[in-house]
Amino acid sequence: MKIVVTGGAGFIGSHIADAYIESGHEVHVLDDFSTGRKANVNPKATLHSADIAEPQARALIESIKPDVLSHHAAQMDVRHSVTDPTFDARVNIIGFINLLEGCKSAGVKKVIFASSGGAVYGEQEVFPAPETHRTEPASPYGVSKRTGELYLSYYRQAYGLTYIALRYANVYGPRQSAHGEAGVVAIFASMLCAGKTPVINGDGRQTRDYVYVSDVVSANVAALTSDFSGSINIGTGVETDVVAIFEQLCGALGCTVAPRHGPAKPGEQRRSSLDNRHAGAVLGWQPKVRLTEGLRRTAEYFRGTVNR
């Protein structure tokens, strides 16, 4: 297959591009390098530099004529979406519509969309949350991701464009940036490797569902050949609090640092976890990397980046 991976120089997208190339597919990476790194791009991929909200990006889709669009380019910083919702909407909504228009013109068969389980559901009422959980996003980022899903549903009905929206839990692993929209695992690992003590917001008992990047990649590989069209949770179904992440990273790195607590972040979601049974049924997918092992691998990656 011919596949365009937007955000293919970023954390998740670059791993997905690697897997598609390894499977023998022709991969084109589209990235504006606002957060992605050229060092992440597989040398066997064809690289295109473009802003997804600009006409050039649509023109690239129309000229490449891929079979599949794997859309992982995004404004991913929840807090930035609150302070600048217009920018969030420009990237995550207008940019995505621009690409979908290109897909319509180019005859693209399928879109695989990186959505967010934690963000689209908002404060959960059920743990872990199934795909049928009500969607009441608590941030502009969550609104933009849910809007992307709704546009996909429209394009399927209007133009026959099939899609799979993968509602990711908190993805972590090698290549994740410790800056910008970084997750707590990357921030903690980077700081601990540099001999610094990270700050835990509030009591640190807020929970998230942490899924290792290789498991997310395997879900994307399965999505290529699945006949399913709709939204699917990609998570472990297990809640882990921030203090536990800190302690396990300290253990993996051999640190003896005492946790340092700061004020709680206003409006921060308290708990989150995703029911993954639907992914098992329609994709044959299950997470394979346990948190302890994933944190060990991530710690080793950050130890290597500090030593380089």
pLDDT score at 181:
61
- Can you give the pLDDT at residue 307? 61
What span, in angstroms and rounded, lies between the C-alpha atoms of 211 and 275? 12
Beta-carbon contacts of 22 under 8 Å, excluding residues fewer than 6 positions away, are none
* pTM for this model (two decimals): 0.97
DSSP string, 207-239: EE-EEEHHHHHHHHHHHHH----EEEEES-S--
The predicted pLDDT at position 180 comes to 66
Catalytic residue among 141, 155, 163, 172: 141
Q: Which two tokens stand for residue 276?
A: 């993954």
- Beta-carbon neighbour count of residue 39 at 10 Å? 8
Other CB atoms within a 10 A radius of the CB of residue 271 amount to 16
Taking the C-alpha atoms of residue 93 and residue 303, their distance in angstroms, rounded to an integer, is 36
Intervals of the chain under pLDDT 50:
none
Q: Which sequence spans correspond to the domains of the chain? A: 2-169+212-234, 172-208+238-275+289-307
CA distance 162 to 281: 18
Q: Give me the pLDDT at residue 308, please.
A: 53
Give 40-67 as a DSSP string: GS-TTSEEEE--TTSHHHHHHHHHH--S
Residues 6+ apart with CB under 8 A from 31: 6, 7, 8, 9, 10, 13, 41, 47, 48, 49, 50, 73
Whether the domain at 2-169+212-234 and the domain at 172-208+238-275+289-307 fall into the same CATH topology? no
Annotation: CATH topology of 2-169+212-234: Rossmann fold (3.40.50)
Cα separation of 133 and 140, whole Å? 19
Q: Is the dihedral of CA 120, 124, 125, 129 positive or negative?
A: positive
Distance CA 164, CA 156 (A): 11
Torsions phi, psi of 128, nearest 5? -70, 155
Q: Which contiguous run of DSSP H or E holds residue 272?
A: none
pLDDT of 305 reads 86
Q: Across-strand partners of 164?
A: 112, 230
Instruction: Please state, in angstroms and rounded to a whole number, the distance separating the CA atoms of residues 203 and 224.
Output: 41
Q: Which amino acid is at 9?
A: A
Which CATH class for the 172-208+238-275+289-307 domain? alpha beta
Distance CA 189, CA 196 (A): 10
Closest CA to 179 of 194, 159, 169: 194
Q: Does the annotation mark 141 as catalytic?
A: yes
Per-residue confidence (pLDDT) for residue 78, from 0 to 100: 92
Find the angle CA(117)-CA(182)-CA(279) to the nearest 5 degrees: 25
